[in-house]
């Protein structure tokens, strides 16, 4: 028998879908490009100098919405954080906003889709859920450190499991620091950047992979010990 979403969930889903449609219909993505950031940097710095709190609040609000709705532009937002606030404050603001946005995406996915997915794939997800409940922090930390899967996809996939919220928040907050700092620090030297692909060099990606492997060491040890 088919299961239907209750009216409250349906209303939330429609509202979120409307925001996403408006984003693409109004072509707001044109403001989240490297060229647009370079062109408007001086104006943003001037506004920030006279309106510190408003600029920080607006930046974080935009970053949270972008991340929560899995919209394009995350890399540009991190660059903007460095270009406007500098590497240290920029990293702090960007990491807080990204963590809050990812948590919102996680909760929305769990709230809107969890029951339907569990009803259809419950038995197939049991093994994954068991691993995430027992060693979820290490797995999540590995996924955040090593850019194998897109950031937004991890948010959505985790929301479909029984991964505890506190584990998701902690793993996300810690795991995105290295990669976030690379982009924010690059944004502080915005004039030298010619493309987004040149920011994360093979050496940097290799360092992330090494950090990710260290995150998996406790999990690998527990599996070896249990055998």
Render the burial of 142-153: b for 16+ CB within 10 Å, e for the rest: bbbbbeeeebbe
Contact predicate 159/54, CB 8 Å: no
Share of the chain above pLDDT 90, in %: 36
Condensed to tens digits (0 to 9), the pLDDT of residues 80-100 reads 999 999 989 999 999 999 999
d(CA 195, CA 129): 39
Contact predicate 158/129, CB 8 Å: no
Contact predicate 106/143, CB 8 Å: no
Q: What is the pLDDT of residue 106?
A: 92
Q: What is the pLDDT of residue 5?
A: 62
Q: How many CB atoms lie within 10 A of CB 104?
A: 16
Condensed to tens digits (0 to 9), the pLDDT of residues 97-114 reads 999 999 999 998 888 877
Contact predicate 62/100, CB 8 Å: no
Confidence check: pLDDT of 179 > 80: yes
Condensed to tens digits (0 to 9), the pLDDT of residues 122-166 reads 566 666 566 666 677 888 888 888 777 788 888 888 888 888 899
d(CA 132, CA 38): 41
d(CA 10, CA 221): 44
Band the pLDDT of 1: cuts 50, 70, 90.
very low
Q: What is the pLDDT of residue 206?
A: 59
d(CA 33, CA 128): 37
d(CA 226, CA 216): 16
Q: What is the pLDDT of residue 65?
A: 95
Q: Quickly list H helices, the chain.
A: 7-25, 34-50, 52-68, 74-85, 87-145, 151-159, 165-175, 177-188, 202-226
Band the pLDDT of 185: cuts 50, 70, 90.
confident
């Amino acid at each position: 028998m088919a299961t239907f979403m209750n009216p409250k969930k349906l209303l939330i889903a429609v509202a979120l879908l409307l925001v996403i449609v408006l984003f693409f219909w109004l072509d707001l993505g044109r403001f989240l490009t490297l060229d647009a950031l370079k062109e408007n940097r001086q104006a943003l710095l001037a506004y920030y100098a006279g309106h510190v709190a408003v600029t920080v609040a607006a930046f974080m609000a935009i970053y949270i919405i972008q991340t929560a709705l899995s919209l394009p532009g995350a890399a540009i937002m991190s660059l903007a954080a460095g270009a406007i606030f500098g590497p240290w404050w920029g990293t702090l603001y960007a990491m807080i906003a990204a963590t809050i946005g990812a948590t919102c995406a996680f909760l929305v996915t769990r709230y809107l889709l969890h029951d339907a997915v569990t009803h259809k794939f419950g038995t197939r997800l049991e093994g994954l859920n068991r691993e995430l409940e027992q060693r979820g922090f290490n797995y999540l930390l590995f996924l955040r450190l090593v850019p194998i899967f897109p950031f937004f996809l991890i948010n959505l996939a985790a929301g479909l499991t029984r991964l505890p919220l506190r584990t998701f928040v902690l793993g996300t907050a810690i795991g995105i620091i290295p990669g976030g700092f690379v982009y924010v620090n690059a944004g502080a030297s915005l004039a030298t950047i010619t493309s987004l692909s040149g920011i994360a060099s093979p050496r940097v990606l290799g360092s992330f992979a090494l950090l990710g492997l260290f995150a998996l060491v406790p999990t690998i040890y527990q599996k070896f010990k249990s055998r």
